[in-house]
Structure 1
Amino acid sequence: MARPVYAGARVRALRRRLVLSQADMARRLAISVSYLSQIESDGRPLTRSVALALATCFPADWQSDQDHAEDRLIAALAEAAAEPLSGDPLPDGEALARAVTQQPALMRRFVALHAAWRRAEDQLQRLDEAYGTGTAGAARLPWDEVRDWFHDAGNYVDALDAGAERIGTALGEDPDALVRALRQRHGVTVRAAARDDMPLRAFDPATGRLWVDGALPAESRRFQLAHQLARMELGPVIAALVAEARPHAPEALRLLEVGLANYAAGALLMPYEAFRAEARRVRHDIDRLRRRFGVSFEQACHRLSTLQRPGAEGVPLFFARVDMAGNITKRHSATRLQFARFGGACPLWIVHEAVAIPDRILTQLAEMPEGTRYVSIAKGLVKESGRFERSPRRYAVVLGCELRDAGDFVYADHLDLARPDAATPIGVSCRICPREACDQRAFPPTGRPLRVDPERRDVVPYRFD
């Protein structure tokens, strides 16, 4: 008989490090507050089911404290078993633990198969994108190369993020710190550009002058200053990353360099640990985060999608930006949801409605074809053009998490998460979406035989097998 395991100090330290109350942690672990209190005081041992819940809800944080191969395998198995493909009830923690104990090799193979299936799904989406844009069989465009580089990196660049965090933490919250650091460390003088023909940011290395558009909002101005400081302070790190990436197109080299500097600017303005802790404390309330760190709504959303530091991951989130035509111009996902790789998106996704309704946060509970549910928010934003003759830029940003993380997402509080029919059925792309009863379908699914009946007309003029 296995000896009881008492881990009160470890559980309590984890909860305090994540800035969670006992009620918050108990809710996520699906146990009572009194039970959690007894565990923390070593009044009760840590059962297999609670240990699995800890590994599932806080995978990186808990494993950093209890780094056992068997526990890691149980957590990975729980992740694979949570795929709602079969429709069967999810095995409980004790059943998963028995399976790992009795058939460890078989369970490792099951986890490996799940990982391979996920990679195949990702490859299918890449092929669908190439088919949809007419680039199948052709070399990737420079923009696609850079986007895929960040995607393959998990949208987290440790060397750059850690360096930017050190700089940002040292600068503190003084609004003039960026200007002072540029002047004192690098001899750069910041000037406000007032001419209409000036870019948002322009640096002249010969004179050491940095021109920033004086009409920019304060948070956009700070980002441009942070971009310039990051390029100067972290230039060798950026150069090494670009050299290691070895992009095929020459233009991709410059695009990656700019993308990495933008990444570093966000990490400088929102230092990793401070931002992660505050995000957990306010349950990812974007307006509270942007005020706390002096950034824009979009910048805060984007930064949340990058919190993937090994051993200190944030809540897995997806983020995307969509323009008026439905093109996805930014896309990052730390969740299983990978529709953000596409040039277009499901019309039932709430982000499209948000584009037409600026400065209002919309919420949605959505369900993918395989059954995974996501809570997402979308907000339409407008960037003024500065002149009557030029239209302002209108777009929307979307941020979301899987249903299992809804407890850490303040926007889920007023959604009916339990009702089976409460979720909006969405898909990745019409060309690979299997939903037949969808009035919004733009294209039939690839490779499915069509059935067209001239004597019958539905909203969609065909059916498929």
Structure 2
Amino acid sequence: MSSKLFLGHRLRRLRRDHQMSQTDMATSLAISPSYLNHLERNQRPVTATLLLKLAEHYDVDVRAFAAGGGTRTGPDELAEIFSDHLLADLGVPRYELAELAHNSPSVADAVARLYAALKEAGRNPSLASNDDARSVVTPENWVRDYIQQHRNHYPELEEAAETLGGALSDPLSMQEPMRKRLKNAWGITTRVVSQSELGNISQQFDAERQLFLISSQLRPENRTFALAYQLALVEFAGVIDRMVAEAGAPDEGIRQLLHMSLANYAAGAIMMPYGRFLQACEEMRYSIDRLCGEFGANVEQVAHRLTTLSRPGARGVPFFMLRVDPAGNISKRYAGDQFPFSRFGGTCPRWNLHAAFQAAGQVVTQLIETPDGHRYFTVARTIERPIKSDLSGGLLAIGLGCDIVFAHKLHCAEAYDLADAPVTPVGPACSICPRLDCGYRATPPAGRMLAVDRNAKSISPYPFLP
């Protein structure tokens, strides 16, 4: 028998997003207000019939809705938090963590924020002595959580950018139309100048002189993105300002970072307008190289754009994306659907995202399986940093992935027999990974009794009892 779906918090959030009363939503779904009230309080499970009604009336992605897509802090993230040595002795069972994530999502978010602050204070003890506790909430984590709460999709920006991007579209290059738009509509002159003139800045807008300066060392696709970014700042100023205000960021630094992130999002949407980009994705079978050529973008820009295709009624393949450096530091993490990796730690060394550095410029594909049995098709490849400079560092790696049920739509999966291809078992952070026989394990699993035998060494450096 299939498990019952108690989705009260998601129903409540959906209703509030549409600014509806329980009576209004109940009427649209042809159920009684009292029944909807029971559903929202998890006193009744959501039926398949009701899920279909939600899909029909509110254009809900049934799979994501039923699986908890869009919830910021889910059971996996809570399990990672409660595996910490500070909490592991409590032995909180997974079903309680699932109940917390599903029934009290705001409380789960609060627990995650406190834990993130604790981790940051451990890395930077000077912050812990600050009277303002918000100082240990790092800007990148706050913004990352905010973006993931919205599943990296902003309909208002998409609509505005699609109108503007469509008007500026040019088969040769969007650079010249955007430069003219900045000049003719906003009185902003664009110049490409030597890096020495800008110091350690790659682009700069001088509001007093109405002058936009771009480094000569930026790669061509990044010059295009720079123009789109500046255009987004002026064209969508009111929209972005309102979105930042509504987000309620705790300090000015976080507000500025969120503003920049939203402008970056809009820049990508201007370069790759939603409808045309989704159509090209479907026609080109999500071939990143062909999409780069079609839109004059680079690999990272296209990969990021692929994680944003969540428009109701016109959804693309729901990708997740990571960007890492050779040391394993994660500098970007986006997901259009559920993300199968650690929120607070790094990635599993068995995922060949790391192997991309040994195969620079090549596309590395892999089928992976997480401990819960879910399988994903992943693509990894190296990218160059945006600016040509001795100070800018070496290569980065991009990892993209999607649930295996979507892999048949991908050009790079055509060589696979998805039913019989070898699958690599991967896990989240080692501290919460349940896999017993893993020679890659870097730390013992929290809350598990080690089974070390001094007379017999095992494959795993930290064997433990199941």
Q: Report the TM-score when normalising by structure 1.
A: 0.72
Deviations along 1:206-261, whole A, 9 cap, x unmatched?
11111001222211000000000000000011100110111113210110011111
Name the structure 1 match of 2:195.
195
Name the structure 1 match of 2:407.
406
Deviations along 1:102-150, whole A, 9 cap, x unmatched?
xxxxxxxxxx979829979999987886676566996421111111110
Deviation at 1:78, TM superposition (A): 8.1
Do 1:327 and 1:343's aligned partners in 2 also have CA atoms closer than 8 Å?
no
Distance 1:314 1:240 in 2: 27
1:350/1:160 Cα in 2 relative to 1: closer, same or farther (>3 Å)?
same
Distance 1:297 1:399 in 2: 11
Deviation at 1:338, TM superposition (A): 3.9
Name the structure 1 match of 2:148.
151
Do 1:227 and 1:264's aligned partners in 2 also have CA atoms closer than 8 Å?
yes
Name the structure 1 match of 2:221.
219
Name the structure 1 match of 2:305.
303
Alignment of 1:314-329 (within 5 A): 314-329=316-331
Of stretches 166-175 and 149-158 in structure 1, the one that deviates more from structure 2 is 166-175
Distance 1:72 1:267 in 2: 23
Check if 1:339 corresponds to 2:328: no
The DSSP-based 3-state class of the residue aligned with 2:143 is helix
Do 2:369 and 2:426's aligned partners in 1 also have CA atoms closer than 8 Å?
yes
Name the structure 2 match of 1:363.
365
Check if 1:257 corresponds to 2:259: yes
Deviation at 1:416, TM superposition (A): 3.5
Letter in 1 for 2:102: A
Gap runs ≥5 in structure 2: 1-47, 69-97
Do 2:348 and 2:427's aligned partners in 1 also have CA atoms closer than 8 Å?
yes
Name the structure 1 match of 2:432.
432
Distance 1:135 1:274 in 2: 46
Name the structure 2 match of 1:394.
395
Deviations along 1:10-60, whole A, 9 cap, x unmatched?
xxxxxxxxxxxxxxxxxxxxxxxxxxxxxxxxxxxxxxxxxx9xx9xxx9x
Letter in 2 for 1:392: G
Alignment of 1:202-281 (within 5 A): 202-281=204-283
Do 2:116 and 2:137's aligned partners in 1 also have CA atoms closer than 8 Å?
no
1:348/1:375 Cα in 2 relative to 1: closer, same or farther (>3 Å)?
same
1:126/1:351 Cα in 2 relative to 1: closer, same or farther (>3 Å)?
farther
Distance 2:306 2:299 in 1: 11
1:251/1:168 Cα in 2 relative to 1: closer, same or farther (>3 Å)?
same
Do 1:320 and 1:340's aligned partners in 2 also have CA atoms closer than 8 Å?
no
1:128/1:377 Cα in 2 relative to 1: closer, same or farther (>3 Å)?
farther
Deviation at 1:314, TM superposition (A): 1.2
Distance 2:291 2:361 in 1: 16
Letter in 2 for 1:172: S
Gap runs ≥5 in structure 1: 1-51, 81-111
Deviation at 1:79, TM superposition (A): 6.0
The DSSP-based 3-state class of the residue aligned with 1:464 is coil
Deviations along 1:154-197, whole A, 9 cap, x unmatched?
11111112111111011122531000000000001111111335
The DSSP-based 3-state class of the residue aligned with 1:401 is strand
Deviation at 1:72, TM superposition (A): 7.5
Aligned residues: 372
Check if 1:452 corresponds to 2:436: no
Distance 2:308 2:277 in 1: 11
The DSSP-based 3-state class of the residue aligned with 1:143 is helix
1:155/1:135 Cα in 2 relative to 1: closer, same or farther (>3 Å)?
farther
1:75/1:456 Cα in 2 relative to 1: closer, same or farther (>3 Å)?
closer
